[in-house]
Amino acid sequence: MPFEIRDVLELSTEQRQILQLSREFAAKEIRPRAREVDDAQTESPLDLWAKAAEIGLASFMIPAQYGGGGITDMLTQVLVQEELCHGDIAIGNLLTSSGFFADPILELGTDEQKQRWLSPLCGDTPPLTALAVTEPGHGSDAAGIRTRAVRTGTGADEHYVLNGQKAWISNAPYAQRFVVFATVDPSLGAKGVTAFVVERDTPGLTVGKPMRKMGQRAIVNAEVFLEDVRVPVADRLGDEGQGFFGLMRTFDASRILIAASCAGLCRAALDYATDYARDRVQFGVPIIKHQAVAFRLADMAVRTDAAHLFAVRAARLFDRGERVTAEAAMAKLVGSENAMANTWSAVQTLGGWGYSQEYLVEKWMRDAKLEEIEEGTSDIQRLVVSRSLAKADGPGQRADR
């Protein structure tokens, strides 16, 4: 029987409808494919991507004027993300991955650029896309990236030439378009970082072999190589030097969504372990009657609620137009660490069977680990929260608390 988070939100009919759609899609289409997609190692389930796109689940978050579903409030996005990731976090993250490409365009792009690059994401057969920041030598320190963008030519022929290497890029083997972050001057640090949209078939752009990885295999990662890649000035997002600050703003949104994915995974692990503990009999009673197991499940329920509530709180502040850098970091930190703890607890609750690939919990434990790493590691989230404490308006410092 699934764990119900008691609803403290007054949701509209439209919100309830998309939640119901997501819940059904997660149960009927996503969960049954979770093991097979994990076993495939380095192949995304493109048929599921197409099915989700057909019913609008891949583009519901894109503004209506560009052809999307127009559900741009963060709260609904959080609730949908939770439901999809309750089906399976790896597949859920794949289905909403257009958001990672769209966010910097929405943040930095002109209206013409938004039309040009967001509309294709909203059709029945949208392309997969990617966001390329990380490099082999620069991960947490995104302001230090070394991919160079050199402006050259004059008049109509004015363009940038990009050279560098990107690592760990999600969707890279399939992506038709990339938002690439490069520096126009490495000596400027964050102030040199500039964003570009680069088409897959641009001469000089090549993608490495799919990387074999621990979990979250529904999304395939690869390196991206840029060798004298020519990018028109019209394909730059924002001004030179605006890229890093735009990226940091998009992190406020994307970290809340990662927190939501984790809340969905927390609940999936709890439901799975509770069902098992009710059925599995040892020493003549269902193991849920053994206090050690029951208390472990109780802790899982508390962590599930906490992950959900932190994500919802950050989403509501975001929707009020407030700066949520610290709250988004807190939500991602709590969500990812709770997902790790809950999936570990689910494996423990299933005993030896938890360690078997007959059941999904070992896979989810591997999947959970990524969320403590991507979009800023847990150390980086703590850094963000700690920095906010030094400010007068940091969490816990406000007059209304």
Ligand X SMILES: Cc1cc2nc3c(=O)[nH]c(=O)nc-3n(C[C@H](O)[C@H](O)[C@H](O)COP(=O)(O)OP(=O)(O)OC[C@H]3O[C@@H](n4cnc5c(N)ncnc54)[C@H](O)[C@@H]3O)c2cc1C
Enzyme catalytic residues: 375
Helical ranges in 280-375 per DSSP H: 291-319, 325-349, 361-371
Enter the tokens of residue 121.
């994401």
Among 108, 131, 224, 350, binds ligand X (CB under 6 A): 131
In the bound complex, what is the minimum distance in angstroms from residue 167's beta carbon to ligand X? 7
Q: Which of residues 290-349 bind ligand X (CB under 6 A)?
A: none
Question: Strand locations in 218-362, DSSP E?
Answer: 221-232, 236-237, 281-282, 285-286
Contact (Cβ atoms closer than 8 angstroms) between residue 101 and residue 169: no
Find the angle CA(9)-CA(13)-CA(19) to the nearest 5 degrees.
70
Nearest one of 355, 317, 311 to 336, comparing CA atoms: 311
User: 230: how many CB neighbours lie within 10 A of its CB?
Assistant: 16
When asked if residue 381 is in the footprint of ligand X (CB under 6 A), the reply is no
For ligand X, the closer CB: 274 or 381: 381
For ligand X, the closer CB: 135 or 327: 135
Among 20, 140, 152, 282, binds ligand X (CB under 6 A): 140
For ligand X, the closer CB: 83 or 135: 135
232 beta partners = 159
For ligand X, the closer CB: 37 or 270: 37
Dihedral Cα 74, 80, 81, 82, nearest 10 deg? 110
When asked if residue 139 is in the footprint of ligand X (CB under 6 A), the reply is yes
The amino acid present at 357, given as its one-letter code, is Q
Contact (Cβ atoms closer than 8 angstroms) between residue 112 and residue 65: no
When asked if residue 379 is in the footprint of ligand X (CB under 6 A), the reply is yes
Q: Which long-range contacts (CB under 8 A, 24 or more apart) does 155-158 make?
A: 158/233
What does the per-residue mask of binding to ligand X show for 342-371, with x meaning CB under 6 A?
----------------------------x-
In the bound complex, what is the minimum distance in angstroms from residue 211's beta carbon to ligand X? 8
Report the residue closest to ligand X, judged by CB: 139
In the bound complex, what is the minimum distance in angstroms from residue 128's beta carbon to ligand X? 11
Q: Which of residues 156-215 bind ligand X (CB under 6 A)?
A: 168-170, 213
For ligand X, the closer CB: 195 or 277: 195
Please enumerate in sequence order all residues whose Cβ is within 8 A of that of 43, keeping only pairs 6 or more positions apart, or say none: 37, 220
In the bound complex, what is the minimum distance in angstroms from residue 307's beta carbon to ligand X? 20
When asked if residue 134 is in the footprint of ligand X (CB under 6 A), the reply is yes
Nearest one of 300, 179, 286 to 236, comparing CA atoms: 179
For ligand X, the closer CB: 192 or 376: 376
Helical ranges in 223-290 per DSSP H: 243-279
- H or E element at residue 194: strand 193-199
In the bound complex, what is the minimum distance in angstroms from residue 127's beta carbon to ligand X? 15
Stretch that binds ligand X, among 291-299, 310-318, 333-341, 372-380 (CB under 6 A): 372-380
**Residue found by looking up tokens 């920095």 in the block:** 387
**Number of residues in contact with ligand X under rule CB under 6 A:** 22
In the bound complex, what is the minimum distance in angstroms from residue 338's beta carbon to ligand X? 18
Find the farthest-apart pair of alpha carbons in the chain and give their distance in angstroms, rounded.
Answer: 83
For ligand X, the closer CB: 51 or 213: 213
In the bound complex, what is the minimum distance in angstroms from residue 336's beta carbon to ligand X? 12
In the bound complex, what is the minimum distance in angstroms from residue 172's beta carbon to ligand X? 8
Query: Rounded to an integer, what distance in angstroms lies between the CA atom of residue 250 and that of residue 211?
Result: 26
Stretch that binds ligand X, among 69-77, 130-138, 282-290, 322-330 (CB under 6 A): 130-138
Nearest one of 61, 136, 49, 163 to 95, comparing CA atoms: 49
Strands 129-132 and 177-183: parallel
205 beta partners = 226
When asked if residue 386 is in the footprint of ligand X (CB under 6 A), the reply is no
224: left (phi over 0), alpha (psi -120 to 50) or beta: beta
For ligand X, the closer CB: 104 or 376: 376
**Residue found by looking up tokens 């197991």 in the block:** 293
Among 18, 52, 118, 133, binds ligand X (CB under 6 A): 133
Stretch that binds ligand X, among 230-238, 247-255, 278-286, 374-382 (CB under 6 A): 374-382
Q: Which of residues 212-241 bind ligand X (CB under 6 A)?
A: 213, 216, 221
Q: Which residues bind ligand X (CB under 6 A)?
A: 130-134, 139-140, 168-170, 213, 216, 221, 370, 373-377, 379-380, 383
